[in-house]
Amino acid sequence: MEKNFVYADNAATTRISDKVLEAMLPWLKEQYGNPSSIYSLGMEAAKAVLNARRLTAEALGASRAAEVFFTAGGSEADNMAVKGAAQLGAKSGRRHIITTNVEHHAVLHTCEYLETRGFEVTYLPVDDKGLMTADQVEKALREDTALVTVMAVNNEIGTVMPIADIGKLCRERGVLFHTDAVQAIGQLEINVQKMDIDMLSLSGHKLHAPKGVGALYVRSGIDLPSLIHGGAQERGKRAGTENVAAIVGLGEAVTAAVTDIAPRNERIKAMRQRLAEGIVSAIPHSRINGDMAQRVSGNVNVSFRGVEGESLLLALDIRGIAASSGSACTSGSIDPSHVLTALGLSAELAKGSLRLTLGDHNTDEDVDYILEVLPETVKRLRRMSPMWQRICKEEGITDYTLE
């Protein structure tokens, strides 16, 4: 079978849904007012932003709409939370931060920056499945800990972290808890009150909203310092004229994302399971990365010995399959994935990884096509690979590509 195009990179971005686009269009054309203006056109825009704030707060289980701050995306929300919490902690002599070694670079690089400003950061390791525990956090907590920041779902391997347990622990110990939930909204049931989450980051383009819009939930009573100065927007915390159309789209998208999560994800999980099992059964010397039980529904991360990930992606693209070798934010890097090496993979095996992420628009026919194209593509690349030939010679592997 031949298909024109299969999109299997939903963890990188998603296409805007029809309902989101329909909701946005009036605010791009007729209703173009500045929300800070006091005349009717501006006031209508301000009402639209307020409604989107309410929808986002309801989707997260927040107690008040005012706990939601709109940003330009997940990375900005992470920066606002981590830097802001660090500054708050420093005022009372708390200059210690706890995170994991598999966070998104928006958190890791922010923590590294804070280390240059006199903060101490503990990077908790994960096991060979990409999982960690609240016990690890408890053992790392100190009197001067200002913040614990642990992602809800890993963006590369899809593993689910125990954020409710961590939130409960942090609340009991009086330590702020932030979670990067960019890959979790619409995948997991998230309730910031029940899960004792103080701050939560999300991104619109992972939810069928446009790129360039996100949000940060901040629990009432936490007075984060401003990240961007220059105006009174977002209650003085984030200067700059609001992107009304994108914010409206985010409100629509996040509402849809948290509706009927279970049946939607059951369908995607069934496709994911068939895809994962089909890959490892059809391609020798392949391995699934991450835990298959504690994992979001659409993620398959697999490594192939003797294959370069970049060559594999280009070969799949020629056949109309869009995938990635990890986070889209590091696609230009020549270094192996920090997530996969944290699991114990060699640099060579980590560089031979493929991330396939299925979403709402994928079908069983898409899975069929990937399972048709991927095995023959890996076999062809191995046939041409000096690395694969070396592995076969050194380890006495029967080279199936010569059959």
**How far is it, in rounded angstroms, from Cα 87 to Cα 223?**
11
From the CA atom positions of the chain, what is the Rg in Å? Answer: 22
**How far is it, in rounded angstroms, from Cα 218 to Cα 220?**
6
In sequence order, what are the beta bridge partners of 228? 238
Does the annotation count 111 as an active-site position?
A: no
Which of 111, 170, 329, 392 is the catalytic position? 329
CB-count burial class (<10 Å; 0-12, 13-18, 19+) for 12: buried
Q: Hey, which residues are catalytic here?
A: 329
